[in-house]
Structure 1
Amino acid sequence: MIYLDNSATTQPYKEVIDAFVKVSSTFFGNPSSLHGVGEKAEKLLQQARRQIAELLKVKEKELLFTSGGTEGNNMAIKGIAKQYQHRGNHLITTTIEHPSVIETMKQLEKEGFEVTYLPVDGDGRISLDDLQVAIKEETILVSVMHVNNEIGTIQPIKAIGTLLKEYPKVFFHVDAVQSVGKVPLELYEFGIDACTMSSHKFHGLKGSGILYLRQGVTLMPLLAGGNQESELRSGTENTGGIVAMAKALRMTNDYFNSSSKLSHLMNEIRIALSEIEDVIIHTPIKATAPHILNFSVKGFKSEVFVHALEENDIYISTTSACSSKHAQASSTLLAMGVKEEIALSAVRVSLSYHTTADEVEKFIHEVKHTIFQLRKVMKA
């Protein structure tokens, strides 16, 4: 199997699974319990929090553990919006955010909040000028994805953070689900107030995530209950998943610090695809994450192409995993000005640090062969 859908989810490291099994079977106590079994679980939980804080270069008390990116985005956006609505009711985001951001904004609009959706250019980037023009007295939150999950475009997060320093009433939330371990992100330096991460995007397990919340920022909790996680996220902590997430983050960080492999392999794919007739590459060359490439093959529906490659045990995707089962054009590509007919043909390749040169070579070969075969069928 050649798995090239790592932006949807990654294969957990063996060490991560081993850690989860050990913690879940041996240290299964509730971290909130007063007895010794619970205390052991609580100790492991705090150890994992400390390790993650060190890796992210933040304070331990600035980390909340969640179930993943969707919950983290909902917590940050709804929590800040409702906690600080006495300051204003205006929110700003972009037209190409993940559904967990777009749909959250739509819910808040129904509750009386005003939302500005910033447009993007042909490379999928917002304009700082557009952002500055959009900010007004009632603005309380700007939410921008760091790395786009479909095309890999990197937004100018540091520049946005610098701009927002001129507006101390405005909070800055970043969805960093796709960037952890692939693109540098300095939470303090970039002026980020809230940041969302998800374990299964960096070889951890599904069901665990991180919400960084800068010291001094608070949220209106979405869940009422036992007041775990600094009284902001009630619910018994997933100790095994959190310990496994800390290990996954450390291991991914080691790969990130020692390898330029992703960029090299993706460049090989880009060069090969650019030489194929009727292939249109949507991912820009500059300021792009090294693990994502989005392209279209004229004349073929994306799902047809995906299933044709699957017959050769090669796995890629159409749009984001959250939207891939809906037969419609990518809203991200449409926002970039891509014609709907071309957008309906778009597919995404996403690598991991475990992707090999041999796998890339076979993928390129099968793409060429698949296009040839599908064209034969169409002409028949």
Structure 2
Amino acid sequence: MPAPLYLDWNATAPLRATARAAMVAALDVTGNPSSIHNHGRRARRLVEDAREQVAALAGVPPAWITLTGGGTEANNHALALAAPAGRRLLLGATEHPSVAGCGGPGAGILPVRPDGLIDLEALDRLLAADPAPALVSIQAVNSETGIIQPLAAIAAIVHRHGGWLHSDAVQAAGRIGLDMQAIGLDLATLSAHKIGGPQGVGALLAAPSVPLVPLLCGGGQERRMRAGTENVAGIAGFGAAAREALAGLDGYAGIATLRDRLEAAVRQAAPQVRIIGTGSPRVANTSCLALPGMAANSQLMAFDLAGIAVSAGSACSSGTVKSSPVLEAMGYGEEVAGSAIRVSLGWDSGDRDIDRFLATYIPLTGRARPAG
């Protein structure tokens, strides 16, 4: 079997050594964080230290953070705040399934332009068309295309109409600067395993102006916003990963050199390939390649046989591969939306990884059936 090559960092980043060490050390702490004796206080200290580290990554006070069981839970918690506050929901057309799938039939959809960016004029019109205040949810960085939304401009429009702005910032953390207060976000979501922490841990960040309502009831944990004993080891790993992600933020932009080399080689060897999002701001590590004439699942099988892990669409879709709703929302037809794969790189990626990807992908492009 070929040696494995991992190019699916947007689905899950490898566990950082510092996060693993923090988790192993935390597993030796016996106390319940809610207990007042010394053992409990030691566990509580681990949780609160991690909260501070996660807060630093997002530029917020620790008190803004509710630790959760992952990004999906945090997104669901954020959207669940709309109903008790009497707010309607407006969701971006290219949201992650954990947002798009829980808005309900009454949620409004904010269109994106062909470049993948939210149509700001449409946002303004939709907010002005109804006097009821809105909770607007816009993903900071799209998980499939890497396109970065202009959150500060979006926040200014939302706040002018009395709304709240939530952002699924899972793909932004550790890749671009994320100062929640400077941007003007009212709510944001983070996930540990996207930045090299463990799976099953995340955070909902909420400004004090947003009245939180518990998603899980029956205990006093997380300021009564999430009942249940905290996952101390997972949270410790989250904090360690957040600290390292913040420290490595300046160097992350250098990954763009690898991505650009990959895309330049594809353009030269296979000009029929559509590279999505090149005209928009993108994070450094993501490339979305559409090969008309070959379905995405056929490409994934070929890469898997070659020992290379890439993906198509979001990893939170029960393992299914189908036409990308994100690309459809950008105006692409089935020929493109059903043939797109995502290559996502990370801090350990290198030139040899790009060479090996190209050695598989370029011959694959020659097997695509001609359009028409």
| TM-score normalised per structure 2 | 0.93
C-alpha spacing 1:105/1:375, structure 2 compared with 1 (3 Å): closer
Kindly state the Cα deviation for residue 375 of structure 1 after the two structures are TM-superposed.
Answer: 5.5
From 36, 53, 68, the equivalent of 1:51 is: 53
Q: 2:90 — aligned with what?
A: 92
SS of the aligned residue for 2:248 comes to: helix
> Is 1:60 matched with 2:62?
yes
CA contact (8 A) 2:175 2:252 kept: no
Distance 1:116 1:55 in 2: 31
Q: Give the secondary-structure state (helix, strand or coil) at the position aligned to 1:295.
A: strand
Within 2, Cα distance between the matches of 1:90 and 1:65?
Answer: 25
- 1:128 aligned residue: 120
Q: Give, in angstroms, the shift of residue 165 of structure 1.
A: 2.9
Counterpart of 1:16? 19
**Separation of aligned partners in 1, 2:24 and 2:343:** 31
Cα distance in 2 for residues equivalent to 1:364 and 1:193? 42
Which secondary structure state, in structure 2, belongs to the residue aligned with residue 65 of structure 1?
Answer: strand
Alpha-carbon distance change, 287 to 375 in structure 1, aligned in 2, over 3 angstroms: closer
2-structure distance, mates of 1:27, 1:285: 50
1:315 counterpart letter in structure 2: A
Is the CA contact (8 Å cut-off) linking 2:116 and 2:280 kept in structure 1?
no
Matching of residue 251 in structure 1 with residue 229 in structure 2: no
Asked whether the equivalents of residues 92 and 116 of structure 1 are also in contact (C-alpha less than 8 Å), the reply is yes
Q: How far did 1:90 drift?
A: 1.9
Q: Is the 8 A contact 1:318 1:324 kept in 2?
A: no
Among candidates 342, 350, 372, match of residue 344 of structure 2: 350
- Structure 1 counterpart of 2:72, one-letter code: T
Instruction: List gaps (5 residues or longer) in structure 2.
Output: none
Runs of 4+ residues deviating >6 angstroms: none
Task: State the Cα distance separating 1:259 from its structure 2 match.
Answer: 4.2
Match of 1:34 among 33, 36, 40: 36
Aligned length: 364
SS state at 2:331 partner:
coil
Alpha-carbon distance in 2 for matches of 1:307, 1:134: 42
Structure 2: distance between partners of 1:28 and 1:261: 41
Q: What residue number does 2:171 align with? A: 178
Counterpart code for 2:25: K
Show the 5 A alignment for 1:216-295.
216-275=209-268, 276-295=270-289
Say which of 1, 8, 21 aligns to 1:5: 8
Q: What is the CA distance between 1:324 and its match in structure 2?
A: 6.5
Q: Structure 2 counterpart of 1:19, which letter? A: A
How far the C-alpha of 1:229 sits from its partner, in A, is 0.5
- RMSD (CA atoms): 1.7
1:118 matched residue in structure 2: 110
Instruction: Identify unmatched segments of 5+ residues in structure 1.
Output: none
C-alpha separation in 2, matches of 1:52 and 1:375: 45
Q: Does 1:202 align with 2:195?
A: yes
**Mean Cα displacement is larger for which, 256-265 or 64-73?**
256-265
- Structure 2 CA distance for aligned equivalents of residues 314 and 190 of structure 1: 37
3-state SS in 1 of match to 2:181: coil
- Return the alpha-carbon distance in structure 2 between the equivalents of residues 375 and 297 of structure 1: 7
1:147 aligns with 2:150: no
Distance 1:40 1:163 in 2: 44
Counterpart CA distance in 2 for 1:259 and 1:54 is 17
Q: Deviations over 1:313-365 (max 9, x none)?
A: 11100111012733421111111111112211111101111111111122112
Q: Would you say 1:102 and 2:96 are equivalent positions?
A: no
**Percent identity over paired residues:** 33
CA deviation vs aligned residue, 1:208-264 (integer Å, no higher than 9, x gap): 111111123222212111121011111111111111111101112222123432111
- C-alpha separation between the residues in 1 aligned to 2:93 and 2:113? 11
Pairwise CA distance, 1:186: 1.6
Task: For 1:140 and 1:164, locate their aligned partners in 2 and report how far apart those are by CA, in whole Å.
Answer: 8
Matches within 5 A, 1:184-195: 184-195=177-188
Task: Single out whichever of 351-360 and 27-36 deviates more from structure 2.
Answer: 27-36
The letter for the 2-side match of 1:83 is P
CA contact under 8 A between 1:55 and 1:250: conserved in structure 2?
yes
